[in-house]
Structure 1
């Protein structure tokens, strides 16, 4: 049995069309169809990281007028609460590597938010203090965090869930 040239071309065109349709179905959709995460959406580490990114994004938005990052805010809070402690102790408590911490302190000092003062007990060490400007900026930052950032998290989670989440995350941070 022979197939006419027209039928052969028609079959070839149909096969190519079906193949193209399959390729379009497997290709990413230009309309923005989300990728399927599969098991990834059940990985605690992945979900924690995604949550952290969202929280940091909101924090940066709330702190835009003060140009403070979460790490800088944390440093200012620790220095306020622990005046006269050295930079090694603060960096260690926050889990910030020494080179990164020195660069951050350089930035905070250049903005006149904190100062490093040579320790009278150990001349190799520097203690950290807030400047008057640092105290004023931190005061404003704490108000913004409370009224915008933390308030949004509290609204999203509710008080009991917020406390439970802090307890669970603290357990991971301290015991894992």
Structure 2
């Protein structure tokens, strides 16, 4: 079997190219693609726990803690203690975080349009379906 026939290789190669493109587009805003994921999830006003956030971006909690600390230093995220469970807290975007999201959203939309411009709407929906099927396949890492 040739390397170009392996789905894992094709997905990884595409992910690298798209991530590099997106990283370069976000660089002027001082935000990484992973931080954009956090901003996107935290943009709701309800507050999110670190555990929920880790599940939402598919990262372990230790990694999320480091990412949140970095975003707190940048003034993008704040913690509010959970009244029901003082051991945990909710994460929210700060006013600056909301401003950054507003500034970055057109860049995100443009990047999405750029990387999918060769695909029809139907192909985009099919690709999302197939990638989600692969993601949710049952195999051990």
Alignment TM-score, normalising by the size of structure 1 = 0.74
Candidates 32, 37, 62, aligned match of 1:74: 37
> 1:116-174: per-residue Cα shift (whole Å, max 9, x none)?
11111110101001100000001111111112x11102212232221211111111122
| Count of matched residue positions in the alignment of Structure 1 and Structure 2 | 138
- Which is bigger in relative contact order (C-alpha 8 A, separation at least 6)? 2
**2:105 aligned partner:** 142
Give distance in 2, aligned partners of 1:93 and 1:61. 23
Shift in alpha-carbon separation, 1:112–1:67, aligned structure 2, 3 A: same
Alpha carbons 2:80, 2:90 under 8 Å: kept: yes
Structure number with larger C-alpha Rg: 1
Candidates 52, 60, 66, aligned match of 1:97: 60
Alignment TM-score, normalising by the size of structure 2 = 0.91
Tell me how large the CA RMSD over aligned residues is: 1.4
Q: Secondary structure at the match of 2:115?
A: helix
Runs (4+) of structure 1 exceeding 4 A deviation are none
Q: Where do 5+ consecutive residues of structure 1 fail to align?
A: 1-37
**2:93 aligned partner:** 130
1:106 maps to 2:69 = yes
Alpha carbons 2:78, 2:93 under 8 Å: kept: yes
